[in-house]
């Protein structure tokens, strides 16, 4: 199968979906500039022109209202934000309007819109430009929240999102844009609310979201070299959340580690752990563990970033300790700090 980068997969999904559905259009700050929103909207602009791919003023709340109105009128807007932090300026429109219209009209009015936004760290993005706010949006009934963990997932989930009648928050991790994976050329969809087993295993279940799913692929390979078979699950959407696939895995392995790109406190990892405790608590052989961000805003300093963010080394050590009651005595930790620099790889060139 041919390989595409994450951004190419998103671009292809947009073009193929727009070709098949005249209702879809793209709006957002910079979607028609030379960078094309990380290169994801340039092909759509070339093929469909400025009437379907156009720039908007920096007025997030008003633009979201326009998107909601157009969706209620039968179109499907794709509203693009270069940061999910900017969505905080649109919360009234998203929470009180987009999410609720279908409920308040007994399903007579729907709001089919897709809001794309970038999450995660960059170089020195700091506290106001690198948050991962999936738990905040997942808390709102009526919003669907998607977190693709790789190029294959990105194309399939975006094509599904563009067929949805409900508003979808589609969160793309900045460090995934240059990651490559096999992506079918033909259009395909991955259902929202269904997770994916990335690697079968019997010793421990690792549930990892967005970029952390990509990191955990490497961790699971390192663990396998030591004879440890981790079952790796990417839920792909956190609202709706595929609890069944996680519970089924934990009943098999007896252990659960959840790795999120956001805060541990009151985050998606808390919801997953609570759900597993309710449905598969007796199957657990050891206490569950969660990895994510400390309950503090993101630092700007590269030195502090290395401490703040979990990485492959952190994840691998957590797994090994869970398997040996907190000790690393008989294991060789393959991953480690320094696996990542401030940039995930030389492929990543910013500036955003």
- Tens-place pLDDT, residues 69-92: 999 999 999 999 999 999 999 999
- pLDDT on residue 339: 42
pLDDT of residue 122: 77
Bridge partners for 205 per DSSP: 231, 256
Beta bridge partners of 12: none
Residue 326 has a pLDDT of 63
Q: Mean pLDDT in the chain?
A: 93
Active site residue 278: no
Say what the pLDDT of residue 329 is: 64
- Residues 237 and 208: their CA atoms lie apart, in Å, by 11
Which one of 12, 76, 81, 129 is the catalytic residue? 129
In this predicted model, which residue has the larger pLDDT, 341 or 300?
A: 300
3-state secondary structure the chain: CCEEEHHHHHHHHHHHHHHHCCCEEEEECCCCCCCHHHHCCHHHHHHHCCCCEECCCCCHHHHHHHHHHHHHCCCEEEEEECCHHHHHHHHHHHHHHHCCHHHHCCCCCCCCCEEEEEECCCCCCCCCCCCCCHHHHHCCCCCEEECCCCHHHHHHHHHHHCCCCCCEEEEEEHHHCCCEEECCCCCCCCCCCCCEEEECCCCEEEEECCHHHHHHHHHHHHHHCCCCCEEEEECCEEECECHHHHHHHHHHHCCEEEEEEEECCCCHHHHHHHHHHHHHHHHCCCCCEEEEECCCCCCCCHHHHHHHCCCHHHHHHHHHHHHCCCCCCCCCCCCCCCCCCCCCCCCCCCCC
CA dist., res. 218 & res. 202, Å (int): 17
Cα–Cα distances (Å) from 199 to 228, 232, 255, in that order, read 12, 5, 15
Q: How far is CA 328 from the centre of its chain?
A: 31
Asked if residue 316 lies in contact with residue 222, where contact means CB atoms within 8 angstroms, the answer is: yes
Q: What is the mean pLDDT of residues 6-12?
A: 98
The residue-averaged pLDDT of 260-278 equals 97
The predicted pLDDT at position 327 comes to 62
Predicted local confidence at residue 4, as pLDDT = 98
* Residues 10 and 154: beta-carbon distance below 8 Å: yes
What is residue 302's predicted lDDT score, i.e. its pLDDT? 84
Average pLDDT over residues 209-225: 96
Q: Six-digit token pair at 304?
A: 């502090």
Span of 34-43, 177-186, 296-305 with lowest mean pLDDT: 296-305
- Taking CB atoms within 8 Å and a gap of at least 24, the contacts of 220-228 are 222/312, 222/316, 222/334, 222/335, 223/316, 223/319, 223/320, 225/334, 226/331, 226/332, 226/334, 228/201, 228/203, 228/204, 228/319, 228/320, 228/323
Provide CB contacts within 8 A for 318, sequence distance 6+. 257, 289, 291
267 by Cβ neighbours in 10 Å (0-12 / 13-18 / 19+) ranks as: buried
Confidence of residue 197 (pLDDT cuts 50, 70, 90): very high
Question: In the annotation, is 129 catalytic?
Answer: yes
| More confident: 132 or 341 | 132
pLDDT at 347: 59
- Furthest CA-CA distance within the chain: 63
List the structure tokens of 168: 């979808």
> One of 8, 60, 231, 271 is an active-site residue; which one?
60
pTM of the model: 0.93
Question: How many angstroms separate the CA atoms of 329 and 332, rounded?
Answer: 8
């Amino acid at each position: 199968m041919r390989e595409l980068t994450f951004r190419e997969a998103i671009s292809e999904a947009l073009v193929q979906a727009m070709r098949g559905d005249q209702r879809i259009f793209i709006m957002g700050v910079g979607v028609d500039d030379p960078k094309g929103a990380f290169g994801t909207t340039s092909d759509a602009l070339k093929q469909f022109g400025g009437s379907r791919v156009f720039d908007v003023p920096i007025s997030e709340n008003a633009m979201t209202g326009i998107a909601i109105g157009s969706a209620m009128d039968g179109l499907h807007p794709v509203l693009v934000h270069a940061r999910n932090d900017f969505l905080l300026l649109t919360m009234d429109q998203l929470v009180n309007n987009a999410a609720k219209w279908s409920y308040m009209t007994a399903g007579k009015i729907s709001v089919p819109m897709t809001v794309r936004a970038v999450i995660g760290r960059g170089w020195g993005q700091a506290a106001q430009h690198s948050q991962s706010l999936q738990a905040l949006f997942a808390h709102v009934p009526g919003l669907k929240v998607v977190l693709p963990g790789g190029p294959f997932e990105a194309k399939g989930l975006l094509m599904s999102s563009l067929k949805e009648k409900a508003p979808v928050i589609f969160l793309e991790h900045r460090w995934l844009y240059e990651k490559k994976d096999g992506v079918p050329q033909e259009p395909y969809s991955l259902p929202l609310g269904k997770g994916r087993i990335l690697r079968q295993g019997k010793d421990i279940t690792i549930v990892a979201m967005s970029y952390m799913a990509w990191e955990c692929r490497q961790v699971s390979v390192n663990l396998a070299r030591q004879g440890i078979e981790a079952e790796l699950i990417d839920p792909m959407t956190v609202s709706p959340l595929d609890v069944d696939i996680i519970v089924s895995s934990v009943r098999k392995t007896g252990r659960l580690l959840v790795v999120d790109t956001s805060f541990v406190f009151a985050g998606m990892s808390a919801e997953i752990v609570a759900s597993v405790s309710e449905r598969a608590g007796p199957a657990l052989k050891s206490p569950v563990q969660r990895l994510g961000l400390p309950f503090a805003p993101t630092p700007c300093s590269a030195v502090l970033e290395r401490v703040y963010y979990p990485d492959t080394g952190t994840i691998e050590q957590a797994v090994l300790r869970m398997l040996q009651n907190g000790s690393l005595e008989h294991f060789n930790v393959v991953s480690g700090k320094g696996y990542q620099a401030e940039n995930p790889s030389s492929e990543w060139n910013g500036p955003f």
